[in-house]
Amino acid sequence: MSKLKAIFFDMDGVIIDTERDGHRVAFNQTFKEFGYPFQWGVEHYGELIKISGGKERMRHDFVSRKMDGFGPGQSDKLIQELHKRKTDIFISLIESGKLPLRPGIHRFMKEAMNEGLIIGVCTTANERAATAITKGLLADIDFAFVFAGDVVSKKKPDPEIYLLALEKAGLPADNCLVVEDSQNGVLAAKKAGLSVLVTTNQYTENEDLSMADIIVSCLGDLNHKKAELKKASKYFPDTGEVTIANIIEYFS
C-alpha cells in the first residue's frame, strides 16, 4: 500500500453490533405488528445475514416459506412498507442508547481525523439508520461521505459501493483501507482492490475471512474490551487496541 489517505467503514457489525439485538429485534417486532405468525431466531438470522440488504433478506425468507404473493417481482410495495416500519423501530433502538458503539470505533475514527484521513461509510443498511448513527452517536466525526441503502444497484459482495467510494474520495485503491466484519464485505472490498481490516462479531467470526489483511475481535478499548489479534500477514502489535498509528505503519 502507498501512504494511507482514506478509510471506508462498513456499519452493521463494525460501527455498532447491530445484527442480533438491533435489526433482528426490529424485524421481529415488525412481523408481529403486521400479523405474521413467525419470528426470526438467533441462528436463523445468522443464516439470513449472509444475504446483503434487509429487503432482500425478507424476500428470500418469505419465498422460502412459500408465502402467498412473494414470488420474484411480487409485493415490492409490501416489502417496502415492512422495511420502512422495521427501520423506524431500529432507529428508536439506536436513539434510546440500547445499541452502543463497538469498542474502540470512536477512538479509532478520532485518530483517523487527527491524521487528516478521509473517512467514509459504505453500508447496505437503510439511509435513515446510517444517518441516525453518523449524525447522532458519531456527530463529532467528520465524514466525507455516507453511502447507504440503495445508493448502488448491486450490494456486497459486489464491489460497486467501494468503487463508488474510491471515485468519491478521488484516490486509487492503494491509498485506502476498508474496515469490514463479514465475508461479503471482504469480498466486495478485495474485488475493488482494497486492503481490509476485519473486526469480527458473533455472526461473522466463523465465516471464511481469510482474504482479509488483518483480523481482530474488535478495535479495542483498554478500559472496556481489548482487541484480540486473530490474523496478520506480518508483525502487528497485539496491545489490546488497534490504533491508526499502527495501521499506518503496517500498511506503509
Are 83 and 108 found together in one domain?
no
Residue 182 has pLDDT above 90, yes or no: yes
Are 119 and 199 found together in one domain?
yes
**From 10, 17, 213, 221, the catalytic residue:** 10
**pLDDT of the residue at 73:** 60
Are 148 and 237 found together in one domain?
yes
Are 122 and 30 found together in one domain?
no
* Residue 34 located in a structural domain: yes
Buried b (16+ CB within 10 A) or exposed e, 215-236: bbbbbbbeeeebbebbebeeeb
Conformation bin of residue 185: beta by default, left when phi > 0, alpha when psi is -120 to 50: alpha
The secondary structure of 110-150 as a DSSP string is: HHHHHTT-EEEEE-SS-HHHHHHIIIIITTTS--SEEE-TT
* Range ranked top by mean pLDDT from 16-30, 81-95, 167-181: 167-181
* Residue 1 located in a structural domain: no
Domain that holds residue 116: 6-17+100-251
**pLDDT of the residue at 2:** 78
* Residue 180 located in a structural domain: yes
Domain CATH code at residue 76: 1.10.150.240
Are 110 and 194 found together in one domain?
yes
Residue that the C-alpha cell 462479531 belongs to: 201
Are 166 and 81 found together in one domain?
no
Domain end marker among 43, 60, 95: 95
pLDDT in tens, 136-169: 999 999 999 999 988 999 999 999 999 999 999 9
pLDDT mean over 24-52: 94
**From 12, 61, 181, 213, the catalytic residue:** 12
**pLDDT of the residue at 252:** 86
Are 130 and 226 found together in one domain?
yes
Residue 72 has pLDDT above 70, yes or no: no
Are 117 and 163 found together in one domain?
yes
Q: What is the pTM of this model?
A: 0.86
* Residue 247 located in a structural domain: yes
- Mean predicted lDDT score pLDDT of the chain: 93
pLDDT mean over 111-129: 94
Are 187 and 225 found together in one domain?
yes
Are 107 and 228 found together in one domain?
yes
pLDDT in tens, 214-224: 999 999 999 98
Are 67 and 36 found together in one domain?
yes
Are 131 and 63 found together in one domain?
no
Q: How far apart are the first and last CA of the chain?
A: 6
pLDDT in tens, 140-149: 999 999 999 8
pLDDT mean over 114-121: 98
Count other C-beta atoms under 10 Å from residue 148's C-beta. Answer: 22
Residue 246 has pLDDT above 90, yes or no: yes
Give Cα 164 to chain centroid, integer Å: 16
* Residue 146 located in a structural domain: yes
Domain CATH code at residue 146: 3.40.50.1000
Domain end marker among 40, 70, 95: 95
Instruction: Report the domain count for the chain.
Output: 2
* Residue 54 located in a structural domain: yes
Q: Which amino acid is at 172?
A: P
Does the active-site annotation cover 10?
Answer: yes
Percent of the chain with pLDDT over 90: 80
Domain end marker among 65, 95, 125: 95
pLDDT mean over 3-25: 93
